[in-house]
Structures are given as C-alpha cells and as structure tokens.
A and B are shown apart, each in its own frame.
Chain A
Amino acid sequence: MGEFVFQIGFVVLMIGLGFVAGSIAESRHLAQLAERERRNGPFLVTQLKSFPAYSRTDLAPQMIVGEVVIASDYFKTFLASMRRIFGGEVRSFHSLMSRARREATQRIVEQARELGYNAICNLRIETADVGGSTSSKKGAAMVAVIASATAYTFRSPSA
C-alpha cells in the first residue's frame, strides 16, 4: 500500500514538474519566436517554386536548411495520454508542432539574412524521425522538423 502511494506521488510530482518547467520553457520560446519574427519582418518567405520579384545580383540562389528537435514535457505527454482515452484534438501537441515549424523557419531566415539574401522561396517543411519518437515504449514525444528553402535576392515591386 505504501509503495503504491509512493508511486502515485512520484507520478504526480513528475506531472507537476513537467507543468511548471514546460510552461516556462514554452512561453519563453513563444516570446522569443515572436521577437525574431518581428525582427525578420521584411524578409520575404514563400513556398512558391518560382522566384517572386527576383532581382539579379552577384549572389546566386542557394539552398538553406534548418532543423530543430523539440521535446514534449511530462505534463503534455500526460494530457495526450488522457486524450487518447476519450479521443479528440490533442491540443497540447498542437502548439509543440507549430513551435518546431516556426523555429525551423526562423533558423533558415536567419542563416539566409547572414549570407546577404533578403528572400526565400520554395520553403518545404517536413517532420523527421530521429528514432524512438514513434516507437518508444515510454511514449516520450518529440518533434523533429527539417525545413529547406532556396534563398535569393528580391526587389520589392513598390520600391
């Protein structure tokens, strides 16, 4: 009986830790993403195959790749396992996926800017499998995103 209580207590503690640390990590990341997206505002991001408003420079177009792996926290994983009983939208993982995609995109934008480009086209975002994410027995969830795009220089039509 005592052992059982200890086990339950341990799980509750983990969920609590996951909730506190996970929420802090998430809100910090979201704030950071918003700031970076604001800073990279005029940078043109499209997923068109052509090069919209391309302007010739010495800089040849170049592929840029960005990748990121983000882990879920214990609380989110717990919520998801609850959701799996009743069915429906797993909201806790929804934000995890979008954070990973935004992060990967921002990494491409930042690399491209550093190299002197001001636009990317043909942005492709896909989830990767780094092993264990789908087959893990503990159900440890993580999102691996690999995004690629072609950086080029454009001149805005209004300018």
Chain B
Amino acid sequence: MIVTNTETIAGYRIAEIKGLVQGNTVRAKHAGRDIAASFKNLVGGELRGYTELLTESRRQALERMLAQAEQLGANAIVNVRFTTSAVTAGAAELYAYGTAVVAQPGA
C-alpha cells in the first residue's frame, strides 16, 4: 500500500478512484504522564509522553484508514490529511482521511 499526502504519486498513474477512507482514534495517557507533564511545564523541554501519545494515535488512525482502503480493493491512498481535536484534558482525537485509489506504475 502506497500512502502519500500529495494528490498524485510520482512514477505512478492513478487508474481508478475508490473513494474517501478515514480512521480516527481518541487516546489518553494515564495520570502519571499528566503529572510528569506538569513538572515539565516548570522547566521546559519536550513532553515525551504526549509525543508518544500523538505517535500512537496517528499509527492507530492510519491503520484503520488502511484497513478501509484494503476492503475497497485499493492499493494506494493519496492526499492524506490529519486533524486533531481535544475531547477532554489529557485526551486527544486524531482523525486521518485520504482518497483510496488504484495506482499503476508508469507515468
């Protein structure tokens, strides 16, 4: 499965458009992470716990999107976009969406 955030794929021709595919997830970290984060707000620096949270969420949302594309019989997803929203404090929703297509090698 080829995944890009561009409308086209260099070196490939889009033979068929299968439609919109999407995946979302809402994840939260345990309270310990939030406490560690509040300490970081004192001294500055990267909040690794929250970075991890974003990475996990993104992976899960992408996996769900990929599963949908596979079901549609697509072999690529183009123009993938992400949006996030805060549902409550410490929990993040990550939504990934793109267009499932059938791509064939050749310009």
What residues of chain A have their CB less than 8 Å away from a CB belonging to chain B?
14, 17-18, 21-22, 25-26, 29, 49-51, 54, 56, 60-63, 65, 67-74, 76-77, 103, 121-122, 124, 126, 128-136, 138, 140-142, 144, 146, 148-150, 152
Neighbour of A54 across the interface among B10, B42, B43, CB < 8 A = B10
Cβ-neighbour of B47 out of A50, A54, A69, A136 (below 8 A) = A69
A155 to B50, CA, bound (A): 37
A115 to B64, CA, bound (A): 23
A129 and B41 contact, Cβ closer than 8 Å, known pairs A63-B5, A68-B51: no
Cβ distance B51 to chain A, nearest Cβ, rounded Å? 5
Q: Is B32 an interface residue (CB 8 A)?
A: no
Task: Determine whether the beta carbon of A63 is less than 8 Å from that of B86.
Answer: no
Interface of A is mostly: mixed
Interface residues of B (CB under 8 A from A): 2-12, 28, 34, 37-38, 40-47, 50-51, 53-55, 58, 80-92, 94
Q: Which of A72, A129, A130, A138 lies at the interface centre, i.e. has the most chain B CB atoms within 10 A of its CB? A: A130
Q: Is the CB of A142 within 8 A of B6?
A: no
Which of A62, A73, A103 makes the CB contact (< 8 A) with B42?
A73
Can you name 7 A-B pairs with beta carbons within 8 Å?
A51-B10, A69-B46, A122-B5, A129-B85, A130-B84, A131-B89, A131-B92
Q: When A68-B51, A131-B88, A146-B84 are in contact, do A18 and B44 touch as well, CB less than 8 Å? A: yes
Whether the Cβ atoms of A136 and B5 lie closer than 8 Å is no
Q: Are B88 and A144 in contact (CB under 8 A)?
A: no
17 A-B pairs besides A62-B4, A74-B43, A130-B54 with CB distance below 8 A are A25-B44, A61-B4, A68-B46, A73-B44, A76-B44, A77-B41, A103-B46, A122-B4, A129-B86, A130-B53, A130-B84, A131-B28, A131-B88, A132-B86, A138-B38, A144-B54, A146-B84
